Amino acid sequence: MSNADRPWEGRVAFITGAVTGIGLGVAQAFADAGMRLALSYRNEDDKNRVAEWFKAKGYEQPLFLKLDVTDRARFAQVAEEVVKHFGEVHVLVNNAGVSVFGPTDEASYDDYDWIMGVNFGGVVNGLVSFLPKIKASHGRRHVVNIASMAAFLPGPQAGIYTASKFAVRGLTESLRYNLAPHKIGCSLCCPALTRTNAWTSALKRPDGFGTSGFPEVAEGELQQFGTAFEEGMDPYEVGTKILAGMTEQKGLILTHPEHGPDFEEIHAATMAALPKEEAPAGRLKIEQLRRDAMKAAEEGLIIRLDDLT
């Protein structure tokens, strides 16, 4: 098989939250593509099950690294350990997250700090820790930030979760322009319903964020909510679609086809909200400069503030 058929073979990837759910699906898809892996984990039993999968497949064992993605000091250590072990690191997948829901108008500071700290802060910590290492490496390189379809679709029980995913979306779409001059690809992935145990996040609340404003939900009710995930996409399929999107240098990777009606509604509502009036020439000029700068950035030029006026 030629290098063109396996363009990521031998590349080193670090994936957060990689021993269950979507993170594991990505790890398995990457392993099948010949990549070398460093995987973060929290639970020893989950890690051992994944190690057995790699052994059964005859693949190189990943470098397993215990990590709480909100721990900046540990994240920096992990980045050093990955480079020390492999020599270089080429791909970062920020995947770890918590799925916690409740009425936003009743949320406490702890609710905000926990959910935003993991879902957005964890991505930030991954970028700050790993981007210098990736920039110093060579060849094909890529960053994938995994958000959620919630990055586009809000819901009445998902205010903070949605905010965290909107934040990851905005950060990633901007970061893509910054990484292009370094010849580093950057993708935002927004999966929808996937066959995972993400619904159990509410049962794993850290002691340091113990004061919740959300009403207590009975475990039976959570389990009933969890049955919806049984209808979800196989995480490995999500992983293969992420790998394909990286190969095609897609800025946006959407894995689930069922959201066409949602995007049509968003587009129609957005266009209908625009005022029906002419914009002045000066503002039109500034916005065209912005569009031109975005295209130039995507082609690899570094854009500075004076390019926007």
The SS3 assignment for 147 reads: coil
Q: Rounded to an integer, what distance in angstroms lies between the CA atom of residue 184 and that of residue 1?
A: 25
Annotation marks residue 161 as catalytic: yes
Element (H, E) at 55: helix 44-57
Q: Rounded to an integer, what distance in angstroms lies between the CA atom of residue 84 and that of residue 65?
A: 13
Between the two ends of the chain, the Cα-to-Cα distance in Å is 50
Q: Return all residues near 161 (Cβ < 8 A) that are at least 6 apart.
A: 99, 100, 101, 115, 119, 148, 150
Nearest to 51 by CA among 26, 27, 86: 27
Q: Return all residues near 110 (Cβ < 8 A) that are at least 6 apart.
A: 209, 210, 211, 212
Catalytic residue among 59, 161, 177, 236: 161
Is 191 in contact with 238 (CB distance < 8 Å)? Answer: yes
Is 227 in contact with 293 (CB distance < 8 Å)? Answer: no
Q: Scanning the structure block, which residue is given the tokens 């690191």?
A: 89
Which residues are part of the catalytic machinery? 161
